[in-house]
Structure 1
Amino acid sequence: MQLELRHLRVICAIADAGSLSKAAIAVGVSQPALTAQLQRVEGAFGGQLFRRGRLGITPTPFGQFVLTRARSILLTVDELLSGVRADDDQSDVARIGGYVTPMLSGLLSRLFAVPGVSITVHTEYSPRLLLDLLASRRLDAATLVDYPGNELPPVPSVGMRLVATEPVFVLMSSGHPLADEQEVRLADLAGDDWVISPPDGVGWPECVYSACQEAGFTPRVPHSMTEQTMIRQLVAGGHAVSPCQATVQDGPGIVVRPLAGNPLWLRHLVAWRRDGPLARRAEELTAFAAQAHREAIAERPHYAAWLARQHGTAPA
């Protein structure tokens, strides 16, 4: 038997109803037909999904495992099939996307405070995916990042504005031999293990590997992850160093240090659909994002100190 989306919907309906008879009514089939279908689905999965008892039907541990993933699949498929809203530009809800950064957080807090503006938030790791969601009319605006030399491609239907260009710093344990340095030479990290987040579709982490090659080494990367909490845990434990945004906050057991010579840079951008409900607020969006970015810098002593040393020489 080949599993189909309708089979996933059936097992979700059974779990929601708590009984085969109620589920049969919900999906519009007879109870014997639903029972036979469930048996075929369980055969395809190779295990029992539900346990039948006096109080009804409940998922087995394996069934709960399958249900969690089935619901996620169905949610994603339903989102894809929903397409663009019919009342897209007339909606009073603006769909904001972005990669999680202090700039995004600050922009959102400012938008939430604007009278008459309601927003929903959608975060993604990949800036390229966020740009595609804008182009396909599934987002109205987004904060993005890219890297000099690996800029996001222009999309005719999407407006884009540069907010800031900033260096990439390094996150290391406070017990690292170089933790007390004002800035760290990339070459001096050649002997460290690294934790680097996976490809984001616009040049990361390729730019990191290129910078390391120019510094004379290939980084040893036994860890790859996007979860910031886990990255910080590895770094704080002295198990790895990690490239990071300059606005990353230090904390217990962790320090953020600039890289000498600034071999790595990233750009923060704001983008919006030219025919979307936020197009007329493009200047305001950019101003909000710039304010949020300046606010984040002011709250990061390591970044503010780096800026003071540059005497205004950072690229615009």
Structure 2
Amino acid sequence: MEIDLRHLRLVTVVAEQGSVTKASAALGMAQPALSAQLNRIDQALGGPVFVRDRHGTRTTPLGELVLRHARVLLPAMEAFHDDVRRHVLARPDTATSLRVGTVSTVLGGIFLNRLRADLAGVTVTSFTSWSADAAAVRLADGTLDVALVGACGDAVLPTEGGVEWTRLRTDPVFVLLPEHHRLAGDDEVPLGELAEENWLSAPGDGCFERCFVTACARSGFTPREVSETERASAVEQVKGGHAIALVQPLLLDLPGVRAVALEGEPLRWTQYVAWRGDAAERFDVDVVRAAAVYAHAEAVRRTPAYERYVIAQGSAP
């Protein structure tokens, strides 16, 4: 692994916060994920950047060297991004293209198709990121125009660089069960009834794993290790009876599996659309917002079981 600016930002935040726990909260990352990143940074550099013990986190001499360079490189890169953004905004042809990023959402295809239909003459190009933070950085530096993001219901999304987030809809997280599972016929299931299961979840950074473990603790158990996998692989593994999956309930009327609500909605997932505050100078933000709202409503319509659920809950879009 080669050290890049993202790693330097992590080291800087950990040094500023004085502990991995505080830094993970500031970064919106799960603590195990941050610890793993720091271990990989140590391996790449050939030595530890921090001493981590019960007194907190302190930089080693190697860590001080890294921080000295980070304090030069990070501001320089921010200045570079500002210059690029000003140049891009000055170009007369930017309105003919729209760069759209998607993160942890099943709405991307519907959203992109709607944009292409509604923005005549605009070339829509799509990109994928694994975290809202990464998408926000790209929005701020002008390499993305729009982001459609799914995030844990408790997540605080970054606004640095003038990024603005519009909440579209918050949905409960469902559990995907094989159709022959003993609870597959229930309308909803208590989380505690699934304590002995093997779990699957979508990949990505953020607070969802921490929220899931907290929900399990409130239900009186500690989950087995949660494996990460993309959606199609999760469906196949669940269908085969090898695991169950935490899923967004949209677009999931599939043979061999059944998406079931968790009693009390202990986990929630929110869809957002985002752009920079100056976006209206470059494209019609009302059209983009309307396309995002449409994408969620259309996904609900295409998922009759979930549509019945939201109607029963009195929360239909």
Fold shared by both chains (TM-score > 0.5)? yes
SS in structure 2 at match of 1:205: helix
- Superposition TM-score, scaled by structure 2 size: 0.67
Check whether the contact 2:177–2:245 (CA below 8 A) recurs between aligned residues: yes
- The structure-2 alpha-carbon separation of the partners of 1:138 and 1:277, relative to structure 1 and needing over 3 Å to count, comes to farther
Decide which of 228, 237, 241 is 2:240's aligned counterpart: 237
- 1:271 maps to what in 2? 274
CA apart distance, 1:235: 0.7
- For the aligned residue pairs, the C-alpha RMSD in angstroms reads 2.3
Q: Which amino acid aligns with 1:211?
A: A
1:204 aligns with 2:208: yes
Q: Which of structures 1 and 2 has the bigger CA Rg?
A: 1
Decide which of 140, 164, 169 is 2:174's aligned counterpart: 169
Please show how residues 18-97 of structure 1 align to structure 2 within 5 Å.
84=84, 86-88=87-89, 90=92, 91=94, 92-97=96-101
CA apart distance, 1:209: 1.1
- 1:67 maps to what in 2? none
1:224 aligns with 2:216: no
Q: Unpaired segments of 5 or more residues in structure 1? A: 4-81
- The structure-2 alpha-carbon separation of the partners of 1:301 and 1:278, relative to structure 1 and needing over 3 Å to count, comes to farther
SS in structure 2 at match of 1:267: strand
Provide the rounded CA distance (Å) in 1 between the counterparts of 2:202 and 2:100. Answer: 23
- Superposition TM-score, scaled by structure 1 size: 0.68
Q: Which amino acid aligns with 1:177?
A: R
- The structure-2 alpha-carbon separation of the partners of 1:283 and 1:171, relative to structure 1 and needing over 3 Å to count, comes to same
SS in structure 2 at match of 1:160: strand
SS in structure 1 at match of 2:270: strand
Please show how residues 156-195 of structure 1 align to structure 2 within 5 Å.
156-195=161-200
Please show how residues 125-164 of structure 1 align to structure 2 within 5 Å.
125-164=130-169
- The structure-2 alpha-carbon separation of the partners of 1:164 and 1:105, relative to structure 1 and needing over 3 Å to count, comes to same
- The structure-2 alpha-carbon separation of the partners of 1:278 and 1:207, relative to structure 1 and needing over 3 Å to count, comes to farther
CA apart distance, 1:129: 1.1
Q: Which amino acid aligns with 2:200?
A: V
CA apart distance, 1:164: 0.6
1:256 aligns with 2:259: yes
Q: Which amino acid aligns with 1:207?
A: C
Runs of at least 4 residues of structure 1 off by over 3 A?
A: 82-90, 276-280
Check whether the contact 1:94–1:277 (CA below 8 A) recurs between aligned residues: no
CA apart distance, 1:99: 2.1
Provide the rounded CA distance (Å) in 2 between the counterparts of 1:93 and 1:258. Answer: 40
- 1:63 maps to what in 2? none
- The structure-2 alpha-carbon separation of the partners of 1:241 and 1:188, relative to structure 1 and needing over 3 Å to count, comes to same
> Number of matched residues?
232
